[in-house]
Structure 1
Amino acid sequence: MARRQAHPDRGRRNGVIAAALASVILGMVVLSFAAVPLYRMFCAATGFGGTPRIGPAASPGAVGRMVTVRFNADTNPALPWRFRPEQVELRLQLGAESVAFYAARNLADRPVTGVAVYNVTPEKVGRYFHKTACFCFDSQTLAAGQDMQFPLSFWVDPALATDPDTADVRTITLSYTFFRSLEDAAGSGAVATAGPHVGPVVR
């Protein structure tokens, strides 16, 4: 019995399908790596999920009622630092730019690099909390036993008081959590315990 020969068009179609599938898989891999940084950029720009907005917008000056901002600090167990706010809370007027400080000490006997993430609660005020300068998402390296201060400047939009969803808010909590950077964790063989974060993030 004579063998049937493969049709050349079928081979070309299979090649096209294989190339298309490879492109889709490659695209999905790229998107999986980009998803977290892009999500953080979106949150920082919009205030979504309790993320304070970051940008050059100048404060309008003190024009509204008073609000209390409380400061919280957490450290992932994989990062051998002591991290704390320098002040428990600040009472300020809406629209007024303020400065606050956090402090950290490296408890290890070698340099260690950390990366901070942050949010505000209640989450609904994220769009109205503007940070004009902060240390978040930037790698911070402390030498063995080194102490360092981390300043931040911020203001709360007076629109907070006129939005029916946030008009009742009188206290806002700003929380920072420091994680070991992925690069530092990889160098010390501790990637698995570095924490649920992605390394340096484009702001």
Structure 2
Amino acid sequence: MTTATLDNRNARTAFFAFLGAAAMLGMGYAAVPLYNLFCQVTGFGGTTQRASESDAALAAKMAQSAGGRTMSIRFDGNTATDVPWTFRPEQSTDTVQIGQRDLAFYTARNDSDVPITGTATFNVEPEQTGRYFNKIQCFCFTEQVLQPGEEIRMPVLYYVDPAILTDENAKDVEQITLSYTFHRAKDRPESGGE
């Protein structure tokens, strides 16, 4: 084997090694957005679905086939340790007709002496019901800024998709828990953070 042939093979091997490393790096950066997309599409991990008004209207029509079945919804509110807020649902449970829109309210009060900007994360349990719990309007899609002592009321407009009744893993569920946790928004001067 000549030196030129050996150099060619080494260059080709180095090129493919670099290409493989670049592909792995790219997949590392893409993993989180792809996982989030997977969770949103499938409801995996209790991720709820975000619905439009037209989706809700279609579900309401489908609700007629649900035969008036109802579902108990439990509401839960939490804050991270660095968020000095009182945050809670106005009612702890509600019974809703499957496929019909319903409205729930949470209240949040800033108990500190500085403005705090918070962002809510959410989860639905049991996990297999996440794909059927659809939020039309929710405070979790925007940052909330509360001045010292300020209290606000925040709505959640939602419905349970009648398709839950045909899912072997979810059709016998009697209660769904919608849980929110407020976290301090990062890199915001008005949030009173470091």
* TM-score, normalisation: structure 1: 0.75
Aligned position for 1:197? none
Q: CA RMSD in A?
A: 3.0
User: What does 1:115-194 align with in structure 2 at a 5 Å threshold?
Assistant: 115-184=119-188, 188-189=193-194
Structure 2 residues without counterparts, runs of 5 or longer: none
Give the Cα separation in 1 of the matches to 2:33 and 2:158.
22
The 1:91/1:174 distance shift into structure 2, 3 A limit, reads same
Q: Distance in 2 between matches of 1:35 and 1:128?
A: 25
Cross-structure match for 2:56: 58
- C-alpha distance in 2 between matches for 1:179 and 1:53: 21
In the alignment, what sits opposite 2:40? 44
Paired with 1:34 and 1:102, the residues of 2 have a C-alpha distance of 34
Q: Describe the shift of the 1:150–1:41 C-alpha distance in structure 2 as closer, same or farther (beyond 3 A).
A: farther
TM-score under structure 2 normalisation? 0.78
In 2, Cα distance between the equivalents of 1:110 and 1:159? 46
Give the match's secondary structure for 1:136.
Answer: helix
Query: Runs ≥4 in structure 1, deviation > 6 angstroms?
Result: none
C-alpha displacement at 1:32, in angstroms?
5.2
Which residue number in structure 2 is paired with residue 201 of structure 1? none
Contact kept, 8 Å, 2:124 with 2:177, in 1: the verdict is: yes
Q: 1:110 to 1:187 in 2, by over 3 A?
A: closer
Question: Does the 8 Å contact 2:116/2:192 carry over to 1?
Answer: no
CA distance in structure 1 between the aligned counterparts of 2:47 and 2:116, rounded to whole angstroms: 26
